[in-house]
Structure 1
Amino acid sequence: MSSFMNMTCPNVTCLHPEQNQIFVGVYSVVFIFGLTLNLTALVVFFRNSKSSSHTTVYMIHLAFADILLVCTLPVRIYFHSVLGGLHLTVCKLSGLVMLSNMYSSIFLLTCISFDRCIAVCFPLSSLVREGRKKAWCVCLGIWILTIATSLPIYFTKKTKPGEHNMACFGGFPHYATEKAPLVSTLIMGFGIPLFIMILSSWGLIQAISKSTAVQTSDLIDSARIKRMIITNLTIFLFCFLPYHIMLLILHFKKCTCTLLTAYRYSLMVACLNAMLDPVVYYFTTETFRKKMDVESVRKIWPMNSHSSDGNARSRAPFTT
C-alpha cells in the first residue's frame, strides 16, 4: 500500500523558490569548505606519511570519499538554481556517486572508531596488531561494497514519462524506500555501524577512565580525548540519523510535499558530514592537529616561520 501511495507523490509543486535558495546556499558552503578542508587534510597526511598510523589509512580514504561527494554538489547547486535543465543520466550518476560515498563515509568513520578502540583497549595483543595492518584491505572492501550496493538504485529502475526534468533531484526516492532495500540500508548501512560506534566509544571512555597511566600522566589529556569521542559520535548522529529516519517515514506514510521537503533537508544535512569530517581528523590525529596549529601561527606571525615544532612533538598526548 505504501508503494502505491508513493507513486502519486507530487514533484514539481514541492520545489519552492525560497527552499531552493537554502539548498543552493548550503550546498555551496559544503562544497567550498568540504573540498578545501579535505584537500588540506590529504596534504597533511601524505606529508607525514612516515609517522602515520593505521587509523590514518582510514582517514585518507575518508577524505577521498568526502571529496568525491562534494564534487557532486555543483550538479545539485545548478539544479536548484535553475530548477532543472539536467539530463536524467547526469542526475543518476551524480546521485550514485553521492550515495556510495555517503555510505563509504559511514563505514570508514565506523572503522576509525573501532580501530582506535581496539588499539587502546588491547595494546599488547599481537592479533590486534596484525589485524590493524589490514586497513588497506578493509578500505578496498568498503569501496567495493558501497559501489556494488548503490548501483541498483540508479540502474534497475526505468525512467517514467515526464520524469526527465523535475525527477532529477525533486522526485520521490522510490527504490530506497522499498522494503528490501530499506531494511538492508537501515540495518547494514546505518544500524550496525551506529552500534559499533557506540560500543567503541563506550569502550574507549571506559579504558581511559580506568587507566592509571592516563589519569596520572601530565602528557595525556583524558578530558580532551573524551571530548573527541563524544564529538565524533555527535557528528555521526547529527548528519546521518535524520536521513535514515526520513527513509523509514516515507516508507510508511503517504507522500506529501512536507515529507518530501523534510527528506531533501535530511539529505542536505547528511552532506554536511563531508565538511565536518575534518573535525574528526583534527581531534584524532595529533600530527594533523599540530600541523594545522603551526601553519595558522605562521600565517599570523611570519617572523616565526622558521621556528620548529619538534619540541611540541615530544609531548604528544594519548593518540592512536
Structure 2
Amino acid sequence: MDFFSEIGLSWHFIDYDYDYFTPTPSTTPATCTDALCVFLAIATAVIFFLGVAGNGLVIWMAGFKMKKSVNTTWYLSLAVSDFLFCSFLPISVAHLVKNDWVFGLFMCKFTSFILFLNMFSSVFLLVIISVDRCVVVMFPVWAQNKRTIRKAAAVVMLAWIIAAAFSSPSAVFRNIDIHYDIHKERNVCYNNYTSDQQHAAVVSCRFVFGFLIPYLIIIFCYIVIIQKLKGNQTAKFKKPFKIMTALVGAFFICWLPFHTFALMELNHHKYESILHTGMVIGATFASANSCLNPFLYVFMGKDIKKKCALVTKIENAFEEEDDPTIH
C-alpha cells in the first residue's frame, strides 16, 4: 500500500500532511530512479515477501495445525493483522516505481485505513497479551477456570472494532489530486486536512491512543509480573515473558520513529531540515515491524527437534504459553 505517502513522504518532494494541497509544477523525474527511492522499493518488496510468508506460516499453524488455545488466538490475530498489511505492500512498490497513484480514490482511502488498522490492532493485541499474562501470573486459579477461547475471541473482536474506529480518520481525510510536472500529470494520494488543527488532532490521537496509553498499560503489567515472578527462574515461567518482551520491544523500536517524526511534522518549519530523512526512517521501521514477529517466534522457540526446525520453533513458542497455571 501507499504506506510512505501516508506520513507525508513523497519520493521527489515533501507533501506535508497538513498542507492545503495545491498542485505545482515539478522538474523531478517521472519514475523511481534516485538511490533512495530504489532502496526503499527493494526494502518494501523484501518486507512484503518475508511478511506474507512468515505471517502466512503463523496463520496456518495457529489457525489450522495447532490445538486451539487462548494464546494461539492472540498470536493468530497478530499474524492476520500483519499479513493484511503486507498483502497491500505491492501497491507501495508500484507507486514508488511509477511515482503516480493509479489505483483510484477507494484504494487511496482503503490502503491508508489498512495501515493504521494494523498499527492500532497490533498495539491493542500487545496490551491484551500483556494484561492476560499479568492475570495468569497474579490469579492462576481464576485464569485456569475462566480463561476460555470464546472469551479470547470476543476480546480480539472488540479490539479490532476499536482499532477500526481509530483508523477511520485516515480514510476520511484521504483524497486524490493531480500534480503537474514537466514529464506528465501525476495523480497524488494525500491527506486532505482543511486546517492545522485537524492534522494535529489526528496525529495526537494516533500517538496517545496508539502508542502512549497502550505502553503505559504494558509497563504497569511488566512491573506486576516482574514483582510476582521475582525469584522464580524456571524456564516455564521465563519463556512466555521473553516472547511477550520481544514482541513489545520490536513494536516500540519500529513505531517510535514514526510517531516522533509525525509529531515533529506538526512544527515542520522548525524541523524541516531533518523531516525528509526522518520520515524515511520512520516509514521503513514501521513497515518492517509487520514481518518481524514470525522471526521472533523462531528465535525464542526451543530447538527440540532437528527436522522441520522452523515450524517446530514457532509451534514451541506458542505452546510455552498454553498452560495458564502457575504452581
TM over 0.5: yes
Task: Note the C-alpha offset of 1:252.
Answer: 1.9
Letter in 2 for 1:182: V
Question: Counterpart in 1 of 2:73?
Answer: 57
Q: Is 2:116 aligned against 1:99?
A: yes
The partner residue of 1:138 within 108, 130, 155 is: 155
Q: Is 2:194 aligned against 1:185?
A: no
Task: Note the C-alpha offset of 1:71.
Answer: 0.6
The partner residue of 2:222 within 185, 201, 224 is: 201
Compute the TM-score of the two structures, normalised by the length of structure 1. Answer: 0.75
After the TM superposition, which of the residue ranges 249-258 and 54-63 deviates more from structure 2? 249-258
Q: 1:27 to 1:174 in 2, by over 3 A?
A: farther
| Contact 2:175/2:192 (<8 A) preserved | no
| Contact 2:17/2:192 (<8 A) preserved | no
Q: Partners in 1 of 2:145 and 2:200 — Cα distance?
A: 37
After the TM superposition, which of the residue ranges 184-193 and 256-265 deviates more from structure 2? 256-265
Question: Counterpart in 2 of 1:129?
Answer: 146
Question: Counterpart in 2 of 1:71?
Answer: 87
Q: Partners in 2 of 1:317 and 1:73 — Cα distance?
A: 31
Compute the TM-score of the two structures, normalised by the length of structure 2. Answer: 0.74
Task: Note the C-alpha offset of 1:73.
Answer: 0.5
| Contact 2:62/2:73 (<8 A) preserved | no
The partner residue of 2:267 within 252, 257, 260 is: 252
| RMSD, aligned CA | 3.9
| Contact 2:44/2:89 (<8 A) preserved | yes
Q: Is 2:307 aligned against 1:298?
A: yes
Letter in 1 for 2:307: R
What is the count of residue pairs matched by the alignment?
Answer: 292
Q: Partners in 2 of 1:317 and 1:184 — Cα distance?
A: 33
Q: Is 2:256 aligned against 1:241?
A: yes
After the TM superposition, which of the residue ranges 227-236 and 75-84 deviates more from structure 2? 227-236
Task: Note the C-alpha offset of 1:47.
Answer: 4.0
Same amino acid, percent of matched pairs: 23
Q: 1:5 to 1:28 in 2, by over 3 A?
A: closer
Q: Partners in 2 of 1:5 and 1:70 — Cα distance?
A: 27
Question: Counterpart in 2 of 1:277?
Answer: 293
> Which has the larger share of strand?
2
After the TM superposition, which of the residue ranges 108-117 and 34-43 deviates more from structure 2? 108-117
Question: Counterpart in 2 of 1:305?
Answer: none
| Contact 1:235/1:273 (<8 A) preserved | yes
Q: Is 2:134 aligned against 1:117?
A: yes
| Contact 1:69/1:102 (<8 A) preserved | no
Letter in 2 for 1:31: F
Q: Partners in 2 of 1:221 and 1:96 — Cα distance?
A: 38
Q: Partners in 2 of 1:133 and 1:109 — Cα distance?
A: 19
Q: 1:247 to 1:128 in 2, by over 3 A?
A: farther
Q: 1:165 to 1:193 in 2, by over 3 A?
A: farther
| Contact 2:56/2:83 (<8 A) preserved | yes
Secondary structure of the structure 1 residue equivalent to 2:135:
helix
Structure 1 runs not aligned, ≥5 long: 301-307
Task: Note the C-alpha offset of 1:202.
Answer: 2.6
Task: Note the C-alpha offset of 1:79.
Answer: 1.2
Q: Partners in 2 of 1:119 and 1:268 — Cα distance?
A: 35
Letter in 2 for 1:249: M
Q: Partners in 2 of 1:319 and 1:130 — Cα distance?
A: 11
Letter in 1 for 2:91: V
Secondary structure of the structure 1 residue equivalent to 2:266:
helix
| Contact 2:48/2:87 (<8 A) preserved | yes
Structure 2 runs not aligned, ≥5 long: 1-15
Q: Is 2:49 aligned against 1:32?
A: yes
